[in-house]
Amino acid sequence: MSRNIFKITLCVFYGILSKFQAYSQDGILNDTASTVYARSLFIKANAKQSRLFNGREYIPYDPSIENHPFFLSKDWTKGSIHYDGGSFSGVPMLYDLTKDEVVVLNFLLPDKLSLVKQKVQEFNLHEHRFIYLKTDSSDKVISPGFYDLLYRDKISVLVKRRKIIKVIGNTSMKTSFEEEDRFFMIHKGISYPVKTLPSVLKVLKDKKPEIQQYLRKNGIIFRDNPEKAIVAIASQYDQLSN
């Protein structure tokens, strides 16, 4: 019941804002009388949901850096999240790939809020499911953080989505957010980094001939789309292992 109230009030909140106030250019709400009023309604109706807004102020980057640090889009996109023991849907959010932080619109104050990553069990954004892995000191391959769960069965396929700030060119002082994804497979409880077809086949060596035949038969060229190929290989391996 409380979740339904949350969704209804969120719609009312946006309705008030769309009527009286628009987002500013940088995506942060202007603190006018209308936004203060809308925010007060939201807080009153959702006191039990306030733990979603438990985090710290999001610190933006130098605006001179080209591109943006977020996953797929710099615009607020509704998603769902399991945070601090509660489940929330229809939440406007961003995922900062450089800081590895989930960012939500803070209805309590006119700013963006970075959630405490250790309290995020998982979240869904842009039809991708991200899970938080704590890992331990014995795992030298996967570091704690958010991972895009591409496939899970006997084998799990994960990708660490990242954006790195890099200098553009050899002599230029300009910088840009550049994407660098890292793929991992978890097989029999052991984590493996995978980047090339040989590295994938090394993990699944007991079915190597069958997998190579499957790739040839289906015209799958690893280098054309590594992400799609790794998922297809993992799925085929599970079928061969049944």
Tens digit of pLDDT for each residue in 206-235? 999 999 999 999 999 999 999 999 999 999
Q: pTM of the entire structure?
A: 0.78
Q: Which domain holds residue 233?
A: 195-242
Whether 15 is in a domain gets the answer no
Residue 15's Cβ-count burial label (10 Å; 0-12, 13-18, 19+) is exposed
Rounded to whole angstroms, how far apart are CA atoms 202 and 139?
19
Rounded to whole angstroms, how far apart are CA atoms 133 and 143?
8
Order of strands, edge to edge, in the sheet holding 182-187?
A: 55-57, 111-115, 101-106, 86-96, 77-83, 120-125, 128-133, 145-152, 155-160, 182-187, 190-194
State residue 6's pLDDT score. Answer: 45
Q: What is the largest CA-CA distance in the chain?
A: 68
State residue 55's pLDDT score. Answer: 86
In this structure, are 57 and 161 located in the same domain? yes
In this structure, are 114 and 208 located in the same domain? no
Lowest mean pLDDT among 1-10, 35-44, 129-138: 1-10
What's the rounded mean pLDDT across residues 182-194? 95
**Closest to 125 (Cα-Cα) out of 96, 93, 82, 147:** 93
In this structure, are 200 and 151 located in the same domain? no
In this structure, are 70 and 148 located in the same domain? yes
Lowest mean pLDDT among 42-51, 134-143, 146-155, 185-194: 42-51
In this structure, are 138 and 208 located in the same domain? no
In this structure, are 180 and 235 located in the same domain? no
Identify which has the larger pLDDT, 110 or 189. Answer: 189
Q: Residue 5 pLDDT > 80, yes or no?
A: no
pLDDT band at 108 (very low <50, low <70, confident <90, very high): low
Rounded to whole angstroms, how far apart are CA atoms 74 and 125?
12
State residue 24's pLDDT score. Answer: 38
In this structure, are 89 and 59 located in the same domain? yes
How many domains is the chain partitioned into structurally?
A: 2
pLDDT band at 109 (very low <50, low <70, confident <90, very high): low
In this structure, are 154 and 227 located in the same domain? no
Whether 143 is in a domain gets the answer yes
Whether 42 is in a domain gets the answer no
State residue 104's pLDDT score. Answer: 92
State residue 23's pLDDT score. Answer: 39
What's the rounded mean pLDDT across residues 100-118? 85
Rounded to whole angstroms, how far apart are CA atoms 55 and 118?
11
What's the rounded mean pLDDT across residues 182-208? 95
CB atoms within 10 A of CB 106: 19
Per-chain mean pLDDT for the chain: 83
Interval 24-61: pLDDT, tens? 344 444 445 655 555 555 555 555 456 777 888 899 99
In this structure, are 148 and 219 located in the same domain? no
In this structure, are 75 and 85 located in the same domain? yes
Q: Residue 144 pLDDT > 50, yes or no?
A: yes
Q: Residue 68 pLDDT > 80, yes or no?
A: yes
State residue 140's pLDDT score. Answer: 78
In this structure, are 163 and 184 located in the same domain? yes
Paired sense of beta strands 77-83 and 175-179, if any: unpaired
State residue 33's pLDDT score. Answer: 60
**C-alpha torsion sign, points 230, 235, 240, 241:** positive
State residue 2's pLDDT score. Answer: 43
